[in-house]
Structures are given as C-alpha cells and as structure tokens.
Chains A and B, each alone.
Chain A
Amino acid sequence: MSWIPFWPDTASNTAVTVNTLAIGLFAVSAFICLVVYALILLFAFRYRRGGSADRSHRVKKSWHWEIGWTSATLIAFLVLFVWGAGAYLWLYQPPANAGDEIYVVGKQWMWKVEHPGGQREIDALHVPLGRPIRLVLTSQDVIHSFFIPDFRIKHDVLPGQYETMWFTATKKGEFRIECTQFCGTQHAEMGGWVTVMDPADYQRWLNDQGAEPDLARQGEALFRQLGCSGCHGANSTVHAPSLAGIYGKPVQLEGGRSEIVDDRYIHDCIMLPRTERVAGYPPIMPTFAGQIGEEDVLKLVAYIKSLGNPASAAR
C-alpha cells in the first residue's frame, strides 16, 4: 500500500550513512524488546500460580549474573556509541572539497537563501546533484532548525552564530525542508523544498536568476552605503583597523586574547563591536545591531573575505 509510508526517501550520502546506523540500532532494539517480552511471557506462563513447573533450586547467588549482564550490555552499548559518534563527526564536519558556501538565514517564519553568485531564494534551495554542498546557517531572530528529512540531516540555526552543515545529494527531485526547533506561531508552516538538479541544469538555473552582482560585490556596495569605508577605507584618517587580508588570520584583542578572523568574528564586530575590540584601537565603532539584517551582515562578511590576502600574494 503505497499510501502508507514506512521509510523516508534516501536522497543523499548522509542519508545512506544514517540509514545504515538506524537499521543497526532498530535491529538491536527490536532484539532486546523481543527477548524481554518473550521472557516475561514465558515466565508468566510457566511460573503462574497453579502451574506445576519445578521451583526448586532457585538461583540465590545473584552477583555473577549481575556482572554477566552488566558487562554484556556495557560492551554492546559501547559498540553502538562508537559507531554513532564516528558517523556524527563525519556528518558534522564538512569535507575539504565541499564547494561554495550557500548562506541560509532563518527568520520567523521563512528560510532565506543566498547563493555566492548573489542568487536569492525564499523557502527553496537549488543544489546540483553529486557535488558536496556546504550550508552556512544563521538566524535573524529566535532559534530555528534546518531539517531535510530525506537527507537525514538537521542543524539548529542560532541567532548570532554561524553553523555549517553539508551533504552531497544523490537523487534528483524535490525534498522537504522543515523547521524543527519551535519558533513561534507559524512554526509548522516554516519550510520549503530542496530541488536537486543535474549540474548542467543547475548552472542554467543560476544564470536565469537575473543579473544580481555576486555576494561580495553586494557587500562592497553596502560597505560604502553604511559608511564603513569612511573609517576602514585605505585613505581614512580615523584610527580604525584595515580590513585588507585579515580574513583567516589571528588578531590580537584588547585584554590580551587573540581570535582568528572568521565569519563569526566579523559578524560580532559589526553587531557587538565593543566585545572583541582589536588591541590598540579606541572603542569608537558604533553597533549595527537592529539597523541591518543578517542577510546584509553575510554580504559584508563575503566582501571582507574577498578583500584578498596581500601577505600571501607577496610571498
């Protein structure tokens, strides 16, 4: 009966990994339940009051039984633990060859997607078949969770944090996106569809999305428009750190700590500029929290990231 679903579609490499693990876990669970129910029924019948089964020579010393089943369950559990933990570290760490980052911003109650080429979608995500895709997720307001059941992956989407997830789609078609972290009134409506396309179709789709400049270019425009360039620009007289080539480098902070300049650090410098101030610079940068949305922050991050790396270029 096809109208009674028992198992979700398996449409990515991550889904295969989780399926194998889940089948293993379900088999172990079913076996344990079966043994428990069978023993209860067997003993309940055999040793019912009025039954004539032999009750002599009861087991009195229990300790070797206790040690026996304690070690047996412990060993079985450890095997499951190691299997699950190994798969988890693989699931949640994007491989080095994962392609361009696609940004996903959750807000009450929609998913906004920005491709590196500047293409934008709402409640939809187009990806090519067979290529590792890396998503960078953040939230505009409350905590959401980005879940694609047919890929067996989800990740919470937090305000003020960049989380990454990845997958390689292995099946063409449309697959549901759901929000799994309760986020208010229309939580159940917050969703959409992943469309998996042939790489050639995907390229065509990207090209058909209108001539928006890419994310970094959009970020550059914002950088001027918001007045960032007034202080951080090359000819500025204001005492503000230069942003050229800082991405991925450690920076010395006020108070002695040092941080690597990554998406999260740049985000926080824009939204909460007083908390992780670069050593030697006065606390004069205004916060942009409440003035620009997470999508704009992502564009600025993309721009700063694109500002090259003169040190390595010189080498």
Chain B
Amino acid sequence: MTVTTFIPAKSTAVKNYLTAGFGIRSWLLTTDHKRIGLMFFGSVTFFFFIGGAAATLIRLDLLDPAGRLVQPDMYNRLFTMHGVVMVWFFLIPSIPTTLGNFFLPLMIGAKDLAFPRLNLLSWYLFNASGILAVYFLLVGGVDTGWTFYTPLSSQYATGHVLPAAMAVFVNGFSSILTGLNFIVTTHRLRAPGMTWFRLPLFVWAIYATSLVMVLATPVLAMTLALMSMERFLGIGLFDPAIGGDPLLFQHLFWFYSHPAVYIMILPAMGVVSEVIACYARKPVFGYRGMAYALMSIAVIGFFVWGHHMFVTGMSLYSGVVFSFMSFIVAVPSAIKVFNWIATLHKGWITFDAPMLYALGFVGLFTTGGVTGLVVATLAADVHLHDTYFVIAHFHFIMVGGTVSAYFAGLHYWWPKITGRLYPEMWARLAAILTFTGFNFTFFPQFILGYLGMPRRYHAYPPEFQVWNVLSSAGASILAIAYILPLAYLGWSLLYGKRAGSNPWHATGLEWMTSSPPPEHNFVRTPVVTSAPYAYPDPETLADEPAGRRPQA
C-alpha cells in the first residue's frame, strides 16, 4: 500500500521496543502489545511442548497393540491432557495472542491495542489458568477427554475434573478479553485512510476470530459451570438418573467447541494470505471475496455444532439440517483455497521458508477440508464417527493447517519481531520435514478410521498395528520438525544477520517501520491511500528484463 507523510525511524535515534526498558519489571508490568505478544509466545510455546509430550507418549503406547507402555487410566489422562492443553492453551491462543497481538496494531497503523492493560491481564489469566490446568492434569489427572461429556465427567470420573474445568473457565476470560480488545482496536484505531477494504486479510481474519471468541466462549463458561454444579452439588442437569439430559451438555459444549475450531483456523487463513501474496509478489486474488469468506465462516460456523452428534440419538431431521449447514460452511473455505491458488497464477514465486509452510498449509488444509465433507455426510459419519478417521481429519485442519500457518507467520515476521534473519536453509528443511512428517503421521489414521479403529483406545486389535507403527514413525519426524526451529530461531537471536526494516520487500504497514519496531510502533502516524498488497504489475514493469524478480 502507498504510504505518505511517513518518515522512517532512525534506528539510532529511537529506542526499539526491546531496548526501551530492561529488567523483569519492564516485562511483567508492560502494556506494550509487542512485549505482551512475545510473552504470550513464550507461554504458548511452553504449553505446545507439554501437549506435545503427552502426544509423544500416546504415539509410543500405540506402537504396541496391547498398549503395555502405560496403564489404561494413565493413557486416558494423557489424551485428556493432550486435548485440553493443545486446544485451550495452544491452538486457540496461538496465532491471535502472539502474531495477532504483535501485528494487529502495526498493520492498521496504531500505537497499541485499545486496552493495553486488559491485554496484560489476559496474559496473566492465561498463565494462571494454564499452570492450574497442567498442575491438576499432572498430579491427579483428569480422565474425561477434553470434551468433558456428561454423565461421565459429572458423576463417574474420579480425577480432578472440577479444578481442570475451573482452569478452562478462567482461560475463557483470557480469550474473551483478547477478542474484545482486538474488536475495539480494529474499529477504533485504524490509521487515517485505512478503510475496511484496505485492511490486510490477516486483520480481517483476527477480527472475525475475535467475534467468535467473544460470542462463543461465554457459552463454554456456562456449560462448565453447569457441569460443575452437577458434579459438586448434585443438581440434576445432565445425568438422567437425577432428571437431567445428557445430550443437553453436548449441545451446549459443541455450541462453543465447534466455533472454537474456527477460532483456530481463521487466523491461520489470514497468515497464509499475507505470506502467499508476499512470495508470489501479487495482490491476493479476489481480496473482497476472501474478506467476505472469513466473515461468513465465522457466522455460519455457529450453526453447525450438531454435526458432532449425528449418532447420539438426536432427532434425525435436525441431523439433516446440521449436515446441510456443514456443507454450506465448507463453501467459503473452498473459495479461499481457489483464491490462494489463483494468487499464484502469473506470480513471481520464491520458495522461502514461510512460503513453503504456507503452500504446505494449502495442501493439508484441503485434505482436511474434503475429509471434513466426508464426515459431514450423514450416513458416512455413522461409520466414521469417533474413529481415527475423525482424528486424522481434525489434525489435518488443526496441526496441518493451523500449526503450519503459525510457523509460516512466525518465520515471515521473525525479522520484524527480533530484527534478525534466521538461517534460510534450516528453516526450509524444517518446513519440508513438517509437511512430510505430518502426512506420515496422520494419513495412515484415515485408513485406520475406515477400518474401524475407535479413538481413545489405549489398546487395539492387532491387525491395525502396521498403520499405527507408521503413524508413530511419522510422529518422530514431526517431533524433529518442531524442535528444529527452537534451535535455529534461538541461534538467530544471537548470531542472525540484521534484518533491516523490510527484508522480504513486503507491503503492509508493519514493514514500513524499523525492525524491531520502536516502542510506539511509528514515529508518525501513517496515512494510507490505497488497497493492500500493492505488489507491482508485470505490465508496469515493461523495462524489467523478462524473468527478473521485480524489486519492491
């Protein structure tokens, strides 16, 4: 985009956000969205490896059909921990609280979020709830699965269900505060000239996500509160033995937890749009369509929750309606895939690490998406529900999709965040390993699912062993791919080359300020005069020799 009245900051004259203050207080009491974003980055990375450790033990146990590595109760606690930690303490906060926190204000030309102190409170709530959750998951364990289905959770489970539910309850407030903050910021703090249809798609995505966070999360809080009331006070809400309805819990739970899937994937879509445009050196194809698609996914996503309940005995006709809505919500997702591909058409594509991650995302997201259609098809779901097919499907979306996009964004914006370049070859290797390891881990699970291997089994029929061994072997590649960036990104902090303000020659306001950005982001408030992704047209580059990459 074109920016006028902008004077680049002299790096020597203005302190950047990292050098603006030293010492522990300057971090723990900061209201700078960039520092809070980094602190969130530390937190979610920590929880990612906790959840990953649980996943590692799960995959090790499943090498053996008899599942002799851990006891059944231990296995149940492991997958509960994996689910709870990965969903609420990694996937949901991952992109919004780190990249969103850091870049939303930068991308709209604001000095900070609308409510900087709320932002800090959100980080404290997040860590308090996370540590509480992990503590109770470790010391006594919770054996309900992350879904807390009643009456198992309210009447039968023996673990620390109440404290874990309380932790998730508190975590929800962190989500709500962050969402609220982003919504108000997007509405109120856009720089002059930054109209809605000049917003980068990442901002649209974060905005759509925030709406879902604010509207859906309270329902989770209520649901967990009701479940706790039944467990603690014996009020008959969900257990039919005391006059409750077990399906009511599932309706309430999925009313939150299905939109939560869109909390995870929408920001990923935003990141990928930024990255593909930059490395194809083209505006995103169908920009408005992409923005509308994000918003319609966020809205329609509220009307599909029943597709988790096709085999529960819910009315057959409501099953039909929920299946129909699930197909409808897949349409805007398909539109996005086509638009990303069309963005590549006649571009000047380079294959830097963020682009490899982003292209991997498009492939894996598509696979996850079409298999989502398979399980949205009513009769097919009767067979596939609660089998490994579903596990494979949602890991393609959440791990293949969201985590790939998270890494794409992390690499793409790393020079801006830290002021350093990472070693490109290592990063490309990690991206390729992620894609390869991911497919080896999760593709066999589609086959296992159709064969009829149920989820949440610590032991399984011996004929399924081949596919489980393949899956576990793939997981070891994936583990390397996830640990590798820790090493080279860490290395780059000390030894990486200085990045300069715009190493990728990208558009977007965040690249117009220095790296790392100054404390208040911009020396002068930028004024925006054109649409985003103003990468030059080949027609306007007639002087350029054919085949040369146009330099921004």
In angstroms, Cα B436 to Cα A284, docked, is 68
Q: Is A87 an interface residue (CB 8 A)?
A: yes
Q: Closest residue of chain B to A71, judged by CB?
A: B331
Q: Among B144, B377, B539, which residue has the most Cβ atoms of chain A within 10 A? A: B377
In angstroms, Cα B453 to Cα A154, docked, is 13
Q: Among A43, A179, A289, which residue has the most Cβ atoms of chain B within 10 A? A: A43
Q: Is B151 an interface residue (CB 8 A)?
A: yes
Q: Is A155 an interface residue (CB 8 A)?
A: yes
List of A residues within 8 angstroms of B67 by Cβ: 188
- The answer to whether B316 and A55 touch across the interface, beta carbons within 8 angstroms, is no
- The answer to whether A141 and B454 touch across the interface, beta carbons within 8 angstroms, is no
List of A residues within 8 angstroms of B546 by Cβ: 52
B353 to chain A, nearest CB (A): 15
Partner pick for A40 among B285, B344, B383, B467, CB 8 A cutoff:
B344
Partner pick for B383 among A29, A36, A154, A272, CB 8 A cutoff:
A154
Given contacts A4-B466, A142-B152, contact A184 B143 (CB under 8 A): yes
B381 to chain A, nearest CB (A): 8
In angstroms, Cα B67 to Cα A86, docked, is 39
In angstroms, Cα B386 to Cα A39, docked, is 33
- The answer to whether B331 and A81 touch across the interface, beta carbons within 8 angstroms, is no
Task: In the complex, identify which listed stretch (A20-28, A197-205, A233-241, A303-311) lies at the interface while the others stay far away.
Answer: A20-28
- The answer to whether A184 and B348 touch across the interface, beta carbons within 8 angstroms, is no
Q: Is A170 an interface residue (CB 8 A)?
A: no
Q: Is A269 an interface residue (CB 8 A)?
A: no
- The answer to whether A84 and B377 touch across the interface, beta carbons within 8 angstroms, is yes
List of A residues within 8 angstroms of B385 by Cβ: 145, 154, 180
- The answer to whether A156 and B312 touch across the interface, beta carbons within 8 angstroms, is yes
- The answer to whether B313 and A161 touch across the interface, beta carbons within 8 angstroms, is yes
Given contacts A49-B549, A88-B379, contact A73 B331 (CB under 8 A): yes
- The answer to whether A66 and B366 touch across the interface, beta carbons within 8 angstroms, is no
Q: Closest residue of chain A to B545, judged by CB?
A: A52
- The answer to whether A149 and B452 touch across the interface, beta carbons within 8 angstroms, is yes
Partner pick for A108 among B156, B286, B451, CB 8 A cutoff:
B156
User: B interface, how many residues as a size bin?
Assistant: 35 or more
List of A residues within 8 angstroms of B145 by Cβ: 182
Q: Among B347, B383, B451, B464, which residue has the most Cβ atoms of chain A within 10 A? A: B383
In angstroms, Cα B310 to Cα A163, docked, is 13
List of B residues within 8 angstroms of A93 by Cβ: 316
In angstroms, Cα B76 to Cα A186, docked, is 9
List of B residues within 8 angstroms of A65 by Cβ: 285-286, 338, 342
- The answer to whether A84 and B378 touch across the interface, beta carbons within 8 angstroms, is yes
B112 to chain A, nearest CB (A): 35
Task: In the complex, identify which listed stretch (A56-64, A111-119, A222-230, A245-253) lies at the interface while the others stay far away.
Answer: A56-64
In angstroms, Cα B367 to Cα A126, docked, is 40
- The answer to whether B371 and A29 touch across the interface, beta carbons within 8 angstroms, is yes
Task: In the complex, identify which listed stretch (B50-58, B216-224, B240-248) lies at the interface while the others stay far away.
Answer: B240-248
Q: Is A295 an interface residue (CB 8 A)?
A: no
Task: In the complex, identify which listed stretch (A5-13, A96-104, A212-220, A255-263) lies at the interface while the others stay far away.
Answer: A5-13
Contacts A/B (CB < 8 Å), 23 sampled: A5-B451, A7-B450, A17-B379, A22-B383, A43-B344, A44-B344, A44-B359, A47-B280, A47-B347, A47-B348, A52-B547, A56-B539, A66-B339, A69-B334, A77-B327, A80-B373, A85-B378, A85-B379, A143-B151, A155-B313, A159-B239, A185-B73, A188-B72
A interface residues, Cβ below 8 angstroms from B: 3-8, 17-18, 21-22, 25-26, 28-29, 32-33, 36-37, 39-40, 43-44, 47-56, 58-59, 62-63, 65-66, 69-70, 73-74, 77-78, 80-81, 83-93, 108, 141-143, 145, 147, 149-150, 152-156, 158-161, 163, 176, 178-189, 271-272, 275, 289-290
Given contact pairs A47-B344, A85-B323, A152-B383, enumerate 7 new A-B contacts (beta carbons under 8 Å): A51-B547, A65-B342, A89-B316, A143-B246, A154-B382, A159-B240, A184-B156
Closest 5 pairs between A and B when the two form their complex, measured CB to CB: A149-B452, A160-B240, A84-B377, A88-B378, A87-B379
